[in-house]
Amino acid sequence: MIRKIKAITFDLWDTVFVDDSDEPKRKASGRATKAIERRRLVHEFVNRHSRVSHKIVNAVYDTADAAFRSVWHDQHVTWTVAERLSIILKGLGQTLPESEMDELIRHHEEMELEFRPDFVAGVHDAIKKLHKNYKLGVISDAIFSPGRALRTLLEGEGLLQYFELFVFSDEIRYSKPEPVVFQTAFKGFDIEPGELAHIGDREHNDIAGPQSLGAKAILCTAAIDRDSVSTHAEATFSNYEDLPDIIEKLNQ
């Protein structure tokens, strides 16, 4: 039985936001890259209590980042920023007072709220148009910016109101393409898998993931084209103006 699409979910990074588009803004303001700033913050906070070199902080931070990527990519588990920083501090043999730890976490989590990423051209109009006929949701991995910060980014562009369901990896602790991520959306929308279309930019996460459960998947190349040559998506688009028509054709 072919089911019509009733709900649409969006990945965020390189689907709705342009990843790292905040970096030129940081540079223009004389600020370091996010990666350098994160390491500088850890060094600053730790050195309030004990002398540790930049070199040691960088090495431990790099090791923790590599461990995070391995667990995130291979086990589809997302450590929170608090967990990542706890691992780094343990590697440095240091602890921080609770208030300072909370502050360090906040600086990490809200870094992309100070210099905000650009939104993909045309995404605002597409979301507003699709909202008239479909339930909309977000399914996004949260690497440093948690679901709380990502909601703020959407709200700042007037888009938060159009989404009724959010599945963030830091909140459910699993990342795409883990089945529970998409199953959470099926349950939240009260729909069958075939009634969901997920939109994202990565074949492994955003296309193969939902398709393995019977949902439809659409590859977005509007920000970056990683996988269009070999994609198995039901459709591909590079211009958000085309998306409403693509959904309509999939439903015919």
HSE-CB for 161 with a 13 A CA cutoff? 6
- Residue 74 sits in the same domain as residue 122: no
Q: Write out 60-96 in H/E/C secondary structure.
A: HHHHHHHHHHHHHHHCCECCCHHHHHHHHHHHHCCCC
- Positive or negative CA dihedral for 85, 86, 92, 96? positive
pLDDT, tens only, 208-221: 999 999 999 999 99
Structure-block tokens of residue 236: 């591909």
Q: Are strands 7-10 and 135-140 parallel, antiparallel or unpaired?
A: parallel
Of 145, 189, 193, 199, the closest CA to residue 171 belongs to 145
Residue that has been written with the tokens 């459960």 in this structure: 213
Cβ pair 122, 241 in contact under 8 A: yes
The answer to whether residue 1 is domain-embedded is no
**CA separation for the pair 41, 57 (Å, rounded):** 10
The overall pTM is greater than 0.85: yes
Same domain for 141 and 244: yes
Task: Collapse the DSSP code of 125 into the 3-class scheme (helix H, G, I; strand E, B; otherwise coil) and give the result.
Answer: helix
The domain boundary residue, chosen from 84, 114, 144: 114
Surface-to-core class of residue 166, CB atoms within 10 Å of its CB (0-12 exposed, 13-18 middle, 19+ buried)? buried
Task: Classify residue 194: in a domain, yes or no.
Answer: yes
The domain that holds 182 is classified in CATH as 3.40.50.1000
Give tens-digit pLDDT for 169-186: 999 999 999 999 999 999
pLDDT beneath 50: ranges in the chain: none
State the pLDDT at residue 56: 98
Whole-number Å distance between alpha carbons of 167 and 137: 8
Phi, psi of 50 (to 5 degrees): -155, 145
Measured CA to CA, the distance from residue 24 to residue 88 in angstroms comes to 28
Query: Do 165 and 216 lie in a common domain?
Result: yes
Check if the beta carbon of residue 119 is closer than 8 Å to that of residue 16: yes
What tokens were used for 183?
């199953």
Cβ(139)–Cβ(10) below 8 Å: yes
**Same domain as 232, residue 124:** yes
Give the neighbor-by-neighbor strand order of the sheet with 7-10: 165-168, 135-140, 7-10, 196-200, 216-220, 235-237
Domain of residue 32 covers 23-114
Indicate if 15 and 139 belong to the same structural domain. Answer: yes
Exposure of 243 by Cβ count < 10 A (0-12 exposed, 13-18 middle, 19+ buried)? buried
**CA–CA separation, 240 vs 200, rounded Å?**
12
* Domain boundary residue, one of 88, 114, 140: 114
35 found inside a domain: yes
pLDDT of 252: 85
Inside any domain, residue 52: yes
The pLDDT score that the predictor gives to residue 3 is 81
